[in-house]
Amino acid sequence: MEAERLHGMGPAWELGGLTAGPAELQPGTAQLRAEVLRRQTPFLARRVLLAESLRASEGTPWWILRRARATAHLLNRCPIAIRKGERLVGAHPATPAVDSQAVAQAEAYLARQSFHVRAASGQVALDLVTILHHGLDGLLAQLRRLRAELRLLDPHRAERRTFYEAAEIALEGFQRFVLRYALLARQQAAAEAARRDELLAT
């Protein structure tokens, strides 16, 4: 609902296709919602991971490359989980034990880098139609082709090449993130016979 207020939109159910609130949820979904709300905590480790990557990339002349590497690093290292009854994975990760001093230092560093961590959920929506149509491998192939086709005399060659490289880094990070969930689903399916079909369909 916070994202809706930020964008001046009405309630989500007015947009069509959604329920009018928790009272209309199926029992399994209601139980999952209660579990998510009970365990929700700020993902403070995000700041530490982003600062970790940005420190490692200091000296890189292109800020877009540093952001792409930080995004990929976050997706590589953030905790993942598949809750019971969850069909759409990608839950907000719980913060593991993190030193409060490390978090404070990371926040101070990110502020100096003008790297803003806070964002409204859904503020940047993926073009799912394109992703599902081409697949991540297809998108990566397009990026590599476009980079290879850049003209030597193009006055914007360096900027465009850097953009394609950054997009490739971020997409590869996203791809590894997806594969981490696929591996986790297979591992849980092997250990939980009762949920095998559900997990392998996730």
Structural domain for 169, as ranges? 41-200
User: Which pLDDT score is estimated for 118?
Assistant: 55
User: Which pLDDT score is estimated for 15?
Assistant: 44
Query: What's the predicted TM-score (pTM) here?
Result: 0.76
User: Which pLDDT score is estimated for 14?
Assistant: 45
In sign, the C-alpha dihedral spanning 70, 76, 78, 84 is positive
User: Which pLDDT score is estimated for 20?
Assistant: 61
User: Which pLDDT score is estimated for 116?
Assistant: 64
Q: Which residues contact 84 (CB under 8 A, 6 or more apart)?
A: 32, 35, 195
Do residues 85 and 151 both lie within one domain?
yes
Distances (CA, A) of 11 to 5, 36, 121: 9, 21, 15
Q: pLDDT tens, 59-72?
A: 999 999 999 999 99
Give the orientation angle of helix 100-112 with respect to helix 45-56, to 10 degrees.
50
- Picking from 115, 105, 107, 123, the residue whose alpha carbon sits closest to that of residue 63 is 115
Do residues 62 and 17 both lie within one domain?
no
Do residues 31 and 51 both lie within one domain?
no
Using CA atoms, how far apart are residues 12 and 187, in angstroms rounded to an integer?
35
Buried b (16+ CB within 10 A) or exposed e, 21-38: eeeeeeeeeeebeeeeee
Do residues 33 and 113 both lie within one domain?
no
How confident is the chain (202 residues) per 10-residue block, as mean pLDDT? 39 49 74 77 86 94 94 93 80 73 92 67 68 92 94 93 96 95 90 72 63
Do residues 62 and 7 both lie within one domain?
no
The position carrying tokens 């420190």 is 55
Task: Transcribe 108-165 into DSSP letters.
Answer: HHHHHTT------TTSS---HHHHHHHHHHHHHHHHHHHHHT--TT-TTHHHHHHHHH
Three-point CA angle 183, 167, 130, nearest 5°: 70
Do residues 108 and 129 both lie within one domain?
yes
Do residues 64 and 92 both lie within one domain?
yes
What is the number of structural domains in the chain?
A: 2
User: Which pLDDT score is estimated for 73?
Assistant: 97
Do residues 130 and 32 both lie within one domain?
no
Do residues 29 and 113 both lie within one domain?
no
Do residues 105 and 10 both lie within one domain?
no
Do residues 45 and 19 both lie within one domain?
no
Do residues 79 and 100 both lie within one domain?
yes
